[in-house]
Homo-oligomer: A and B are copies of this chain.
Amino acid sequence: MGLDDRKLAVLRAIVEDYVATQEPVGSKMLVERHQLGVSPATVRNDMAVLEEEGYIRQPHTSAGRVPTDRGYRLFVDRLSRVKPLTPAERRAIERFLVGAVDLDDVVHRTVRLLAQLTRQVAVVQYPSLARSSVRHLELVPVSTTRLMLVMIADTGRVEQRLVELPGPIPPDDVIDLRQLVNEKLVGTRLADTPPLVQALVDEVSGELRPAMVTLSTVLLETLVERHEERIALAGTANLTRGGLLDFQGSLRPILEALEEEVVLLKLIGEVEPSAMRVRIGDENEIDNLRATSVVSTGYGPGVTILGGLGVVGPTRMDYPSTIATVRAVARYVGDLLAQN
């Protein structure tokens, strides 16, 4: 079923107007505000077709039209023109991110920036450990039978774990252990460490052995099994904009979903930088978020991907701007982290 150019123009106009006004748009308004060059009656015919095809719908019989998820999808895929960031926005990005003092700081600033610019809920994943390499391992004696293991990743992330040793261990041995694990593991990607850790255990004999065995399990736990992804969130207050019109009245399910880290990870995970992912309404796998749209992408230096970031908002959002902003912020953060 063909949609000629004018019908597409009408759809675009409907989306743009609806996003701007938040009210169902009628045929008359449409011809007034856009140069469509035809009469309202003609537009109405086009609308009827668009509705039949499922791109728009009427909230009630005697109301204007509203885009459906499918309509937004078509808009995003084929109709939206890229909206370049304003100089003010560019400046905001730069200003916001300079002076970040450590990784936590970078992430926090980023998520706030994103929330502020898009006026939506922003989500930023910390650089994934799975894609990081070991920069340094540190063993700090806490008592004679306890060590604290600290792992520093090249992305700046730091993980810590307490190691309960099977028996007391002299300080010199701790130094030996530290040296051993560092020699073997520094520089390798976390995902690749298991065989090396195993090798470590095999190599060691004598008094050090029991300690090394314990340490190895904690190491594996820290490096691969339990490397929790971390996530930062900001801008939940933005959900309340637009009264309760969006999200049919209840923020509940959305807030609930946003508290689940697992859910958030699914949301923004696994997209290569430069590729944008837009999930509109029903396209979301997470039921609680069927009333929202999610715009996300990966970030990282160049093509490598360190983590994901994105925003969650009403399906009725300004896609072009949002997409542009998310992309810009992702790029900026990627570059910033590359400097470490």
Whole-angstrom distance between the Cβ of A314 and the nearest chain B Cβ: 15
| Interface pair A101/B161, CB less than 8 Å apart | yes
* Per-residue B-contact encoding for A220-245, CB less than 8 Å = 1, 0 else: 01000010101000111101100010
Quick one: given A148-B152, A226-B101, are A240 and B250 in contact (CB under 8 Å)?
yes
CA separation between A162 and B136, bound complex, in Å?
14
Task: Count chain A residues whose beta carbon lies closer than 8 angstroms to a beta carbon of B.
Answer: 37
CB < 8 Å neighbour of A140 from B135, B226, B230 = B135
For A259, the chain B residues whose CB sits under 8 A away are: 234-237
Query: Beyond A135-B140, A152-B140, is A340–B240 a contact (Cβ under 8 Å)?
Result: no
Q: Which chain B residues lie closer than 8 Å to A340 at the CB level?
A: 142, 162
Question: In the assembled complex, which residues on chain B have CB atoms less than 8 Å from the CB atom of A94?
Answer: none
Given contacts A161-B102, A162-B340, A255 and B236 within 8 Å (CB-CB): yes
Q: Which residues 254-292 in A have Cβ within 8 Å of B in the complex?
A: 255-256, 258-259
A251, B103: Cα distance in complex, Å:
31
The SS class assigned to the A binding surface is mixed
Q: Tell me how far the C-beta of A111 lies from the nearest C-beta in chain B, rounded to whole angstroms.
A: 10
Known contacts A140-B135, A237-B252, A237-B255; is-contact A152 B156 (Cβ 8 Å): no
Partner of A156, one of B104, B158, B160: B160
CB-based nearest B residue for A257: B237
Q: Does A337 contact B (CB under 8 A)?
A: no
> Of residues 115 to 165 in A, which have CB atoms within 8 Å of B's CB atoms?
135-136, 138, 140, 142, 148, 150, 152, 156, 158-162
Q: Give complex CA distance A340, B140 in Å.
A: 13
| B residues less than 8 Å from A160 (CB atoms) | 102-103, 152, 156, 158
Could you say which residues of chain B place their CB within 8 Å of the CB of A258?
236
Residues in chain B near residue A158, CB distance under 8 A: 150, 158, 160
How distant is the Cα of A263 from the Cα of B221 in the complex, in angstroms? 36
Return A223 CB to nearest CB of chain B, in Å: 13
A240 to B255, CA, bound (A): 9
Smallest CB separation, A101 vs chain B (Å): 6
Min CB distance, A188 to chain B, in Å? 16
Contacting pair B138 A150 (CB below 8 A): yes
Provide the bound-state CA to CA distance between A240 and B258, in Å: 14
**Which residues in B have their C-beta under 8 angstroms from that of A142?**
135, 340
Contacts of A148 in B (CB 8 A): 135-136, 152, 156
Contacts A104-B228, A140-B152, A158-B158 aside, 7 further interface pairs with beta carbons under 8 A come to A101-B226, A102-B159, A150-B152, A156-B160, A236-B259, A237-B256, A239-B255
